[in-house]
Amino acid sequence: MKEIILLKEGEIAIKGLNKRSFEDAMVKNIRRRLKPMGKFEYERSQSTVEVKPLDDDVDFDAVEECISKIFGIAAYCRAAVVEKDFERIAEKTMEYVSEELENARTFKVNAKRADKQFPMKSPEICAELGGRVLKKFPHLTVDVNNPDVVVTVEVRRDFAYIHTGNRKGAGGIPVGTSGQAMLLLSGGIDSPVAAYMMAKRGVRLSAIHYVSPPYTSDRARQKVERLCEKLTPWCGDIAFYCVPFTKIQEKLRDNCPEELFTILMRRLMMEIAQRIAEEKDIQALVTGESVGQVASQTMNAIVCTDAACRMPVFRPVIGMDKTEIIEIARRIDTFDISIEPYEDCCTVFTPKHPKTRPILAEVEAAQNVFDFEPYIKEAVENTELKVIRSDRA
């Protein structure tokens, strides 16, 4: 074992009696996600989880990258593992943190001696190791108050750990501890960000996507599957439902007032999403709507959409500007796929002048002119399911 990762729990640590089950969920998520990268052992103590590789050839950069996206981890720390011998510790320190020391101007050494049998006391370790660092990196000076780098040595029961402190984790709470929701996932920028935000609060997500062949291409659908793949590091496995929506859109075009087309389409999307959600014991819907962004997202339009919903609809980006949403999309790496120019079913038959202030009674009356039920049933029956897995190698 050359390196380990120490994980610090955030909110989980204050969950009182439920702490254990939150911790179990987090470790289960980590196990699953790290499975393709090798064998690991997990040791828990006092709101810290130690991830120890059982093989020596683990790609630790990949492990770190993976860990940094798992919700429930407030901070993590990657450490070198060495024998509890001062010479070995000093030697390893020069090598393991050399890059950070080269780029720093000031440093200090912080020693923690959990094993009181170790022959040097903490201040001695600090003084001796600090001296050696200064000798090897003469451009550095010691600053005990505000150093650029804190070289930390922890002498524990079996080994000594060397690291330079905590890095920020993904935060939030473990996926799977806050129930399940069905995300309406388009190929756009907003809905993948909505997924990230709900997963951060522990919600396990399924995704539903509507396609209208031949008006929308298979590449548009593949694009959304790729978005799901990009989301799995954050969200875990995603059950991806693809709904054939062409007939419903054609019936809408032929039977309903053009200016209400979009709002009626959105109500029917919600209806189908709820039927599949109910079947799967999923309790809520999630969309990437942001109030005022487009005609279908005015307050009146949202009132008309919500009136078609029996379950809560979460809209985590509702109060965000596009620039703020884009900032997150870039960080979670969905942005570049989202801006690929494939058509979405929302842009098929869109009216030139959609009603921005639809009145619910009018919308309901327009929908009642035609019997959509058989088409809804058919769409649900022909929906295809594909599970996008988070543990693929």
Residues near 162 by beta carbon (within 8 Å), at least 6 away in sequence: 79, 80, 82, 89, 92, 93, 96, 97, 151, 152, 153, 154
Q: How far is the CB of 37 from Mg ion (least distance, A)?
A: 35
Task: Give the one residue of 110, 186, 287, 298 binding Mg ion; rule: CB under 5 A.
Answer: 186
Site for Mg ion in 40-59 (CB under 5 A): none
> Which CB, 204 or 266, lies closer to Mg ion?
266
Least Å distance between CB 297 and Mg ion?
A: 10
**Contact in structure between 192 and 286 (CB atoms under 8 Å):** no
- Strand 313-314's sheet: what is its strand order? 313-314, 284-286, 180-184, 204-211, 238-244, 384-388
Alpha-carbon gap, residue 16 to 38, rounded angstroms: 33
Nearer to ligand ATP (CB atom), residue 85 or residue 378: 378
What is the rounded CA–CA span in Å between residue 242 and residue 12? 35
**At 5, which amino acid appears?**
I
Instruction: Please check whether residue 198 is in contact with residue 191, taking contact to mean a CB–CB distance below 8 angstroms.
Output: no
Binding residues with Mg ion: total (CB under 5 A): 2
| Length of the chain (residues) | 393
> What does R_g of the chain's alpha carbons equal in angstroms?
27
Which of Mg ion, ligand ATP, none sits in contact with 191, Cβ below 5 to 8 A by type?
A: ligand ATP
- Which residue number has the CB closest to Mg ion? 188
Q: Give the shortest CB-224-to-ligand ATP separation in angstroms.
A: 7
Least distance between ligand ATP and beta carbon 199 (Å): 15
184 binds, among ligand ATP, Mg ion, none (CB under 5 to 8 A by kind): ligand ATP
Partner whose binding site includes residue 273, from Mg ion, ligand ATP, none (CB under 5 to 8 Å by kind) = none
Task: Give me 231's structure tokens.
Answer: 């989301």
Q: Which residue number, 175 or 189, has a Cβ lying nearer to ligand ATP?
A: 189
- Cα–Cα nearest to 380, from 221, 281, 253, 271: 271
Residue 287's binding partner, choosing from ligand ATP, Mg ion, none, with beta-carbon cut-off 5 to 8 A by kind?
ligand ATP
Please tell me whether residue 354 binds Mg ion under the rule CB under 5 A.
no
Give start and end residues of each alpha helix (H) in the chain.
Answer: 19-34, 60-67, 86-96, 98-102, 122-136, 190-200, 218-235, 246-255, 261-279, 299-306, 322-331, 335-338, 360-368, 373-381
Measured from the CB atom, is 169 or 188 closer to Mg ion?
188
Residue owning tokens 């005022």:
292
Least Cβ distance, residue 204 to Mg ion (angstroms)? 23
Looking at residue 389, the DSSP 8-state letter turns out to be P
The partner in contact with residue 345, picked from ligand ATP, Mg ion, none with C-beta cut-offs of 5 to 8 angstroms by kind, is ligand ATP
CB of 288 to ligand ATP, least distance (A): 3
CB of 163 or CB of 209, closer to Mg ion: 209
Nearer to ligand ATP, 294 or 365 (CB): 294
- Residue 108 near which of ligand ATP, Mg ion, none (CB within 5-8 Å, type-dependent): none
Which lies closer to ligand ATP via its Cβ, residue 92 or residue 209? 209
CB of 195 to ligand ATP, least distance (A): 9
Strand partners, 51: 5, 42
Beta bridge partners of 337: none
Which range, of 97-105, 129-137, 183-191, 237-245, touches Mg ion by CB under 5 A?
183-191
Among 176, 188, 202, 316, binds Mg ion (CB under 5 A): 188
Beta-sheet pairing, 160-163 with 149-155:
antiparallel
Residues that bind ligand ATP (CB under 6 A): 184-186, 188-191, 208-210, 287-289, 293-294, 296-297, 344-346
Smallest distance from the beta carbon of 223 to Mg ion, in angstroms? 12
The CA–CA distances, whole Å, from 317 to 195, 314, 322, 323 equal 10, 9, 9, 11
- For the record, the structure tokens of 139 come out as 């451009």
Please, what is the minimum distance in Å from the beta carbon of residue 379 to ligand ATP?
A: 12
Q: Which residues bind Mg ion (CB under 5 A)?
A: 186, 188
